[in-house]
Amino acid sequence: MTAPKRIGKQTVAFDNPPVIIGRASAVGPKEGKGPLKDYFDFIAEDTYFNDTSWEKAERKFFQTAAKLAIEKANLTPNDIHYFLAGDLLNQIISATYTARSLPIPYVGLYGACSTMYEGLALGAMLIDGGFADHVLAGVSSHYSTAERQFRFPTEQGVQRPLSSQWTVTGAAAMVLAAQGQGPRITHATIGKIVDLGVADATDMGAAMAPAAFDTIKQHLEDTGRDPGYYDLIVTGDLAKIGHRLVQALGEKQGLDLSKNYTDCGLLIYDTSQDVHAGGSGCACSGVVTAGFLLEEMQAGRYQKILGLGTGALHSPIASQQGETVPGIAHAVAIEF
């Protein structure tokens, strides 16, 4: 006997596709001046969010998005059976301190910037499997907490190479339900680690691109679809370099990704915003999906989206010990 919901090698198809009944995004001032500014639920005036450290500010973004998503789903925290959450900080403190403020059983995740889609995929499985009525999935990231943890404290003023990306300051949360109105998660494809040897902490797009392509290709093979089945294929935070690499891998391997493939890291900032290669961070795919993509889906612009969370599992201590950066990508098919 094979597990009944599996199709192909890495994909599952949901019997009763879980519905995204609530979603919210809270962002910082830079994101609030970008091209998607009108889509976000909340824009903070500064990156400290009236608190005393960037880490404390990050969890305020998370709490804001979580609270709003639950409200917009017309639920209370007590109606939610699981909170699946993570972020980029060591010991995922933004997620954990947000979980502490909510009376919801908590499942901590770490998938670097892929975490929003890791949560959506697992959340959909928990609902379709009959284990939960409602699941809250959420993520956060913050430019200044990420820079000082993974690269250099911003106060140091180290020059950023053009390959570097700008970590999105903000948080996103989505409520999944067994029933209701809204976009539905029909399939999930959990990715494998792909590591082609990129070791540069300022070029995460290149580190993630091979994993993103691997998961896109596997999803299409497993479902028997070609890229044109989707109105949009959108990766989480590959930005300029990674996006171009995925298209190039497509050309080499006979997958046409020239027409309907984009990346959240290309959508969230304007080229005038001095973000070099583009956006990144857990919140990049989070707020672009919760704020923009699903809004446009509900407005009728898109019917079928394949979204991917893309993670560069970069670790300063592993880098110092000579290691390269493993990449991962998880895909979720959303239809409305």
Residues that bind its own copies (CB under 8 A): 1-6, 10, 12, 52-53, 55-56, 81-82, 86, 89-93, 96-97, 99-100, 103-112, 118, 122, 125-133, 178-179, 190-193, 195, 313-318, 321, 323, 326, 328
Q: How far apart are CA 294 and CA 100, in angstroms?
A: 28
Nearest to 211 by CA among 191, 187, 233, 188: 191
Tell the smallest beta-carbon distance from residue 255 to its own copies (Å): 20
CB of 138 to its own copies, least distance (A): 14
Give the H/E segment covering residue 185.
strand 184-189
Q: Which two tokens stand for residue 19?
A: 């519905």
Asked if 39 and 291 count as a contact pair (C-beta separation under 8 A), the reply is yes
H helix intervals, 160-233: 204-223
Task: Identify which of residues 35 and 108 has a Cβ nearer to its own copies in the complex.
Answer: 108
* Least Å from the CB of residue 243 to its own copies: 23
The CA distance from 43 to 24, in Å, is 12
Q: Which is nearer to its own copies, 3 or 299 (CB)?
A: 3
Tell me which residue has tokens 């053009």: 162
Give 26 or 127: the residue with its C-beta nearer to its own copies: 127
Name which of 204 and 294 has its Cβ closer to its own copies.
Answer: 204
Q: Provide, rounded to whole angstroms, the least separation between the CB of residue 48 and its own copies.
A: 13
Sign of CA dihedral 215, 19, 86, 280: positive
Closer by beta carbon to its own copies, 177 or else 238:
177
CA–CA separation, 333 vs 129, rounded Å?
Answer: 17
Q: Is 224 exposed, middle or buried (0-12, 13-18, 19+ CB in 10 A)?
A: exposed
Question: 134 and 324 in contact (C-beta within 8 Å)?
Answer: no
Burial 72-103 (b: 16+ CB within 10 A, else e): bbebebeebbbbbbbbbbeebebbbbbbeebe
For the bound state, the minimum distance from the C-beta of residue 178 to its own copies, rounded and expressed in Å, comes to: 7
We find the least distance from the C-beta atom of residue 32 to its own copies, in angstroms, to be: 25
Residue 42 identity: F
Tokens for 100? 């502490």
Nearer CB in complex with its own copies: 262/324: 324
Query: How many other CB atoms are found less than 10 A from the CB of residue 155?
Result: 9
CB of 8 to its own copies, least distance (A): 11
CB of 53 to its own copies, least distance (A): 5
Torsion, CA 179, CA 77, CA 333, CA 252, rounded to 10: 180
Would you say 5 or 33 has its CB closer to its own copies? 5
Closer of 82 and 143 to its own copies (Cβ)? 82
Q: In the complex with its own copies, which residue's Cβ is closer, 133 or 231?
A: 133
Q: How far is the CB of 135 from its own copies (least distance, A)?
A: 10
3-class SS of residue 210: helix
**Is residue 188 within a helix (H) or strand (E), and if so which, with residue range?**
strand 184-189
